[in-house]
Structure 1
Amino acid sequence: MSGWDSEVDVAVVGGGACGVMTALRAARNPGLVVAVFEKSTRDGCNAAISSGSLAAGGTRFQAAAGIEDSPRRHADDILAASGDEEWRPVVEALCAAAPEFVEWIADTGYPVEIGADMPRAGMSAPRLHTDTGRLGGGRLMRHLRALLDGHDNVAFVDEAPVVGLVVEGGEVTGVVVMQNGAAQRVRAQTVVLASDGFAGSPTLVEEHLSHLGAPFYGGVSSATGDALAWVLPLGARLRNMGAGLRSGLVVVGHGTRVSPALPFNGAVLVNLAGERFVDEESKGYSSMAGILQGQPGERAALIWDATAMAATRESEMMRESLAAGAVRDHPSLEGLAADLGRTAEETERLLAPLPGRRALTAPYHLAWVTHGLLASQGGVVTDPSGRVLDASGAPIPRLYAGGGTACGLAGPHSDGYLSGNGLLSAFGMGWIIGNGLAAGTG
């Protein structure tokens, strides 16, 4: 082992959703030694600051609630939104894995329920699964990382950023890890790139996502896309680099977000010109960001009532916004009108429901929302098993990718993102890669 500081069978770069799932599944094979190198749990990962909602079609939780769904229907919904038929084999593989990993997570003792009260644009059936109590992705990631402690063949190494790949004879043979200020060469039979994307890198955002303007950034600081520079010299290909996970529900001046379910409970959007400018139910929160970007001041007032508040206030996002004082309360139409700078008559017309929608009634609630960027969606091209492909479509030996490193599910544009796609691609590819490694087929 000359020239190496340590040796493992599987080196996982990143301890977020994809990395932890990969390690948990691979470690079922007691003959594998797995190391997860995490840049910094203090900085966090995008999964930990997400809502923790898991999109899956055809689960036992849906069946118990009388919801008909399937992995194929799930995949078709994603592809209808993204228009990215070239990516269908990967999408179908992830959607097939989704009910398996959601039910497995539940079977490890995590409290899972179907979010029947979480409607989202683009979903033909309720398929977001959440934790009881709606405590979010932080709770989920703590649970999964704790499961690693039950495997004596896994090491989770914190404050250990990977700074490069070791390539010998054109083949990936390990990683270079910084620990306590010193570089360590770790030999590995397989390397899995499972780090966050590049939305936290001003340089890469300017290069690939400048068309998004100057959005509020709501992701983690560690999402700097380091792995992209490592794989390009190996012949890897990137795709859909102009797509991001956006949100049109970021509260101005606070940086919190309000619930994506509000528009499905009657909430309306009014811009600074005093205009309704969109069918609020027709857009997902990522595509809504582009709509808001084009409005005067790049913002609008989202208005809802007590009924909508009751339906959404227990979500993690709403709790955070309410605690931050990001929501304004108006007992009467006149107070709401004054906040909007409109007459009561104008405001009443603005609140008129679209055909078939519920009318809002006092008391009212208001938050000024703008657009934000939460994560990138472009990344490395893989096959459905997670192997990184070169420009000819051939797998690069011993190299896998998932999570933010890999190309996501939004397609070529941010409007194609559906709620839950991020954790679907991260957990799903970790599930697929880890199972393959455990079975010796990776």
Structure 2
Amino acid sequence: MTDWNEEVDVLVAGSGGGLAGAYTAAREGLTVAVVEATDLFGGTTAYSGGGGVWFPCNPVLARAGVDDSFEDALTYFRAVVGDRTPAELQETYVRGGARVIEYLEQDEAFSFQMFPWPDYFGRAPKARLDGKRHIIPTPLPAAALGELSGSVRGPLSTDRQGAPQPEYLIGGRALIGRFLLGIAKYPDVSLYRNAPLVELVVADGAVTGAIVERDGERVAIRARRGVLLAAGGFEGNDELRARYGVPGRARDTMGPWGNTGRAHEAGIAAGAAVDLMDQAWWSPGLIHPDGRAAFALWFTGGIFVNQAGERFVNESAAYDRLGRDIIDRMTEGAVSLPFWMIYDDAEGGVPPIKASNVPMVDAEEYVAAGLRHSADTLAELATKIGVPADALTATVARFNEHAAAGIDPDFGRGDEAYDRAFSNGESPLTPIVKGPFHAAAFGISDLGTKGGLRTDTAARVLDADGNVIPGLYAAGNTMAAVSGTVYPGGGNPIGASVLFSHLAAVDMAARF
């Protein structure tokens, strides 16, 4: 194909962690075009409450005096990921994050702070129970972005409920804002919204550019150095979820509506190999009156019960581990949807959830939708949610005994550091004793799919024979996750997205 409408050195599809690639390419002197499928920048990253990255031994942690080593961090990461992904890819991730932070901090647009968040497998060797492998971007005034101030996706309260955007960007929105702030210094970067990548252009086995639908028009963009696919997962596409066996529904994902897998399909059509396509970043989901189950964490009480009125899981486990346990029980037939959080009136009728991510609305709306029930007795509550009264009563009595002893022999709730992260290190076993008693409906949610194109340590996409496809790179949830089938720690998804986007740009800058 020779009839190009535009030419750049680097084309980046996606504006979440992929902005790290755009920023790096621009800073290294390359011309860049970023194409975002939706009307706002940020992708799934912008919905992250913390926007953190799991980057052991980075400069922020070093300045805080954290005593850690790459060897310890790599021991932990390999222990939980195993051999599900290539060892060299794991090592690249664990060792590479610190260098990215060092690179970014040379630019005043970037600022980070330590935000301790325990590793998610506290019993694994060299797990960091104090959470000091995790940092977050510092908040940023939205006004600092100038004309781009209203262009960052989120927060969820805005996108799903119409709330006004806050004056400060925090969490993932702050990270996106800081990348946009950094990119603004370079005139050779074009940012396009409403511009999904729909097809890659391949010549003699190499990717030379892409076809983009920009504001409804097909535009052919030549990419002299390469194309970086960092357009999120395919969690918003029920057909692809079914094809690859991803549990759950598109409506219950936390990914933005544009994450439909078009970049995946373009990569596959160009010969890319894929992996982990049945995987996602899981979580339990509080069901809201709009019928959507949304990621929820920070439970200060309550237990989950199934259709038999029995507990079936450690409710305080890290959300991906908890989500996977729920899915396993669903597969066995031990859990059907919805399942229920049972809690007492210690905090009133509101579920003991301090981070619902999508803000809870008026209680009456949940009641009207059949998603929340209350009763003076557990037996009466059981009738309302359709579970055996004697079983629910016995379940709560048994749990209360465990709470009094401070030990959960059934599911180990409280046995790991993360379990106690939201109870000031104390036991998370809170007895259910004060009536009236309540039940809130839960489903399964996800933070996006994690299956994607297989890559090498420079984020270069590989074909089925393990050979590099020249000119094609992938990162974020368009790349097969370096963490395999697990979620080692908070900030792993965003961290990997930022790192491999950066490495892709570094490789492209060195190509000629």
C-alpha contact (below 8 Å) 1:275/1:350 kept by paired residues: no
Aligned-pair CA distance for 1:296: 4.1
Contact conserved, 2:314 with 2:322, CA < 8 A, in 1?
no
Task: Report the counterpart of residue 37 of structure 1 in structure 2.
Answer: 35
Aligned counterparts of 2:342 and 2:175: Cα–Cα separation in 1: 30
Q: Which amino acid aligns with 1:26?
A: A
Deviation at 1:300, TM superposition (A): 3.2
TM-score of the two chains, using structure 2 as the length reference: 0.72
Secondary structure at the aligned position of 2:86 is classed as helix
2:322 counterpart of 1:288: yes
CA contact (8 A) 2:228 2:501 kept: no
Name the SS for the 1:47 alignment partner. Answer: helix
Alpha-carbon deviation of 1:218? 2.4
Question: CA shift at 1:36, angstroms?
Answer: 1.0
CA contact (8 A) 1:388 1:401 kept: yes
Q: Following superposition of structure 1 onto structure 2, how do residues 42-441 of structure 1 map, counting pairs within 5 Å?
A: 42=40, 45-51=43-49, 52-63=51-62, 67-102=66-101, 105=104, 108-116=108-116, 118-122=117-121, 124-125=127-128, 126=131, 127-131=133-137, 135-189=170-224, 190-212=226-248, 216-251=252-287, 253=289, 255-259=293-297, 261-262=298-299, 268-281=303-316, 283-293=317-327, 294=330, 295-301=335-341, 303=343, 313=354, 317-318=355-356, 320-322=358-360, 347-351=396-400, 352-353=402-403, 354-355=406-407, 357=427, 359-360=429-430, 367-411=440-484, 413=485, 415=486, 418-438=489-509, 440-441=510-511
Q: How far apart are the structure 1 equivalents of 2:215 and 2:324?
A: 43
Q: Residues of 1 paired with 2:115 and 2:343: CA distance?
A: 23
The CA deviation string for residues 182-211 of structure 1, in whole angstroms up to 9 with x for no partner, is 222111111111111111111110011255
Counterpart for residue 152 of structure 2: none
**SS in structure 2 of the partner of residue 183 of structure 1:** strand
User: Contact 2:205–2:470 at 8 Å: present in 1 too?
Assistant: no
Structure 1 position 385, deviation (Å) = 0.5
- The 1:150–1:340 alpha-carbon spacing in structure 2 relative to 1, beyond 3 Å, is farther
- Relative to structure 1, the CA distance from residue 298 to residue 396 in structure 2 (aligned partners, 3 Å threshold; closer, same or farther) is same
Distance (Å, rounded) in 2 between the aligned partners of 1:131 and 1:207: 37
Gaps of 5+ in 2: 140-168, 368-374, 384-388, 408-413, 415-426
User: 2:325 & 2:452 partners in 1: Cα distance?
Assistant: 25
Q: How many residues align?
A: 424
* Distance in 2 between residues matched to 1:12 and 1:241, nearest whole Å: 22
Gaps of 5+ in 1: none
Q: Matched residue of 2:457: which SS?
A: coil
2:258 partner SS = coil
Distance in 1 between the 2:16 and 2:428 partners? 40
Q: How does the TM-score come out when normalised to structure 1?
A: 0.82
Question: 1: CA distance between counterparts of 2:245 and 2:311?
Answer: 28
Asked whether the equivalents of residues 56 and 129 of structure 1 are also in contact (C-alpha less than 8 Å), the reply is: yes
- Give the superposition deviation at 1:408: 0.8
- Give the Å deviation of 1:41: 3.4
Residue-by-residue CA offset, 1:371-402 (whole Å, 9 max, x unaligned): 11331111111100011112222211121111
Q: For residues 319 and 194 of structure 1, what CA distance do their matches in structure 2 show?
A: 24
Q: 1:57 to 1:336 in 2, by over 3 A?
A: farther
Tell me, what secondary structure is at the counterpart of 1:24?
A: helix
Cα distance 1:201–1:338, how it changes in 2: closer, same or farther (>3 A)?
A: same
Identity across matched positions, percent: 26
SS at match of 1:122: coil
